[in-house]
């Protein structure tokens, strides 16, 4: 899969799930919850972001709880999150839920806010469009790669169950 988009850079480490999807709005429909995504770090992020944009973040993005915080990013139309590293629970939950998440050491230094980047999930690279600089990303094991390409855990299971009954 290839994606390109405008970067929203959150260089902080340890951005946690309570910041990505603040619990105090948990009673609202997902769309409205998503408006508050990352507001503790950038008050207007939920309003300024466009569908297809890419979030770039520091180390351990998604620390904290196992609640599906990734759903707020999907609801905003975020095409991918590229981070120095991810918290495991958030990372795997995102792949299952169909959010493209790419661990890419060096990404915070590679881009500035507003840059365009291109992400290639097969070649495992991220390219900063203006400078042409390229970074290699950490490759995913087989099942996870299939999930990313197919769009999530359900699509993967569907294909697998269909193949088994053939």
The residue ranges that bind other proteins (CB under 8 A) are 13-14, 16, 18-19, 22-24, 26-27, 30, 40, 59-60, 63-66, 68, 85, 87-97, 141-144, 153-154, 157-158, 160-161
Q: Whose Cβ is closer to other proteins: residue 5's or residue 152's?
A: 152
The rounded distance, in Å, linking the Cα atoms of 120 and 89 is 23
In whole angstroms, how close is the CB of 1 to other proteins at the nearest point?
A: 18
Residue reference for tokens 């400078």: 131
Q: Whose Cβ is closer to other proteins: residue 5's or residue 97's?
A: 97
Q: Whose Cβ is closer to other proteins: residue 53's or residue 153's?
A: 153
- Smallest Cα–Cα separation from 54: which of 116, 145, 2, 109? 116
The rounded distance, in Å, linking the Cα atoms of 156 and 166 is 16
Q: Whose Cβ is closer to other proteins: residue 75's or residue 128's?
A: 75
The rounded distance, in Å, linking the Cα atoms of 111 and 10 is 11
The rounded distance, in Å, linking the Cα atoms of 55 and 59 is 13
Strands 80-83 and 54-57 turn out to be: parallel
In whole angstroms, how close is the CB of 118 to other proteins at the nearest point?
A: 26
In whole angstroms, how close is the CB of 154 to other proteins at the nearest point?
A: 5
In whole angstroms, how close is the CB of 100 to other proteins at the nearest point?
A: 14
Q: Whose Cβ is closer to other proteins: residue 40's or residue 129's?
A: 40
The rounded distance, in Å, linking the Cα atoms of 55 and 11 is 10
Annotate 134-149 with b (16+ C-beta within 10 A) or e (fewer). Answer: ebebeebeeebbebbe
In whole angstroms, how close is the CB of 123 to other proteins at the nearest point?
A: 20
């Amino acid at each position: 899969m290839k994606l390109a988009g405008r970067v929203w850079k959150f260089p902080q480490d340890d951005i946690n799930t309570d910041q990505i999807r603040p619990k105090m709005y948990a009673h609202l429909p997902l769309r409205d919850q998503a408006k508050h995504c990352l507001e503790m770090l950038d008050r207007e992020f939920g309003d300024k972001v466009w569908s297809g944009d890419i979030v770039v973040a520091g180390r351990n993005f998604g620390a904290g709880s196992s609640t599906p915080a990734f759903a707020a990013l999907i609801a905003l139309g975020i095409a991918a999150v590229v981070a120095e590293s991810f918290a495991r629970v958030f990372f795997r939950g995102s792949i299952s839920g169909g959010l493209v998440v790419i661990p890419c050491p060096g990404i915070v230094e590679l881009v500035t806010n507003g840059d365009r980047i291109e992400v290639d999930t097969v070649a495992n690279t991220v390219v900063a469009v203006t400078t042409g600089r390229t970074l290699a990303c950490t490759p995913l094991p087989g099942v996870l790669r299939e999930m990313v390409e197919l769009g999530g855990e359900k699509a993967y299971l569907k294909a697998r169950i269909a193949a088994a009954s053939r």
